[in-house]
Amino acid sequence: MMYAEEDYLMLSGIQHFAFCRRQWAMIHIEQQWAENYRTTAGELMHKKAHEENSFEKRGSLLIVRGLRISSPELGLSGQCDVVEFHEDEKGVELFGYDSTWKPVPVEYKRGMPKENNADELQLCAQAICLEGMFQTDITEGYLYYGENRRRSHVEFTDGLRAEVRKMAKEMHDLFRRGYTPNVKPGKQCKACSLESLCIPKLQKAVKVREYMERHIKMED
């Protein structure tokens, strides 16, 4: 199935979805957002990567920042922090540049590598978008972590690709139904920017909108 442009969801939502389906739904379906240090610092780092929105050539390497990407197959759209184009005879032609180039996505993250594979999934989703846009195969990318200032190599395996496709489909199913999954408290809740809205301590499903409405009524 191919999605129409007006139905695209945010590609960056993949990392929220992998972290917790409920958190994703609260942000992307119910549009609730609690700023905390993690999100603010992460956004600042992204802003820096996206703001520059430039092309830079360094020998046999072309660096493109802030490239807008989308995939009708996944129904996702977003922006790449950085896409490196490596001069390669099996690469693709780029308008205004001689030679052929192999695209390699690079995503910047605050902090250290995570316990789950949310960052790898997001990067792989970017690669699937780029493959469709440039009609080429992309086998690898890199995640750059601010805390240890290191690049970690990511191979886009069939397994990772299948997980991305499954998640994108689940995201669209939930979005279409407007359904926010119930609270499932876990150790990830300690690092969740929406903990105060989600109130996992009650250990029962409370729709955020209902919770907010109840509190607004109590204050009236």
> In whole angstroms, what is the distance from residue 154 CA to residue 143 CA?
7
Choice between 42 and 185, CB closer to ligand SF4: 185
Considering beta carbons, is residue 143 or 194 the nearer one to ligand SF4? 194
* Residue 178 Cβ vs ligand SF4, minimum distance, rounded to whole Å: 17
C-alpha to C-alpha distance for 130 and 186, rounded to whole angstroms: 34
Q: Is 55 within 8 Å of 152 (Cβ atoms)?
A: no
In the complex, the smallest distance separating the C-beta of residue 30 from ligand SF4, rounded to whole angstroms, is 11
- Residues in contact with ligand SF4 by CB under 6 A are 20, 22-23, 183-185, 188-189, 192, 194-195, 198, 200
Q: How far is the CB of 199 from ligand SF4 (least distance, A)?
A: 8
Question: Which is closer to ligand SF4, CB of 30 or CB of 88?
Answer: 30
- Phi, psi (5° rounding) for residue 61? -125, 130
Nearer to ligand SF4, 127 or 194 (CB): 194
Closest distance to ligand SF4 from the beta carbon of 64 (Å): 34
Torsion of CA 23, 24, 26, 28, to 10 degrees: 160
Query: Of the two residues 41 and 61, which places its CB atom closer to ligand SF4 in the complex?
Result: 41
Give the three-state DSSP class for 61: strand
Cβ atoms 147, 113 nearer than 8 A:
no
User: Between vectors from CA 110 to CA 107 and to CA 112, what angle results, nearest 5°?
Assistant: 95
Question: Nearest approach, Cβ of 36 to ligand SF4 (angstroms)?
Answer: 11
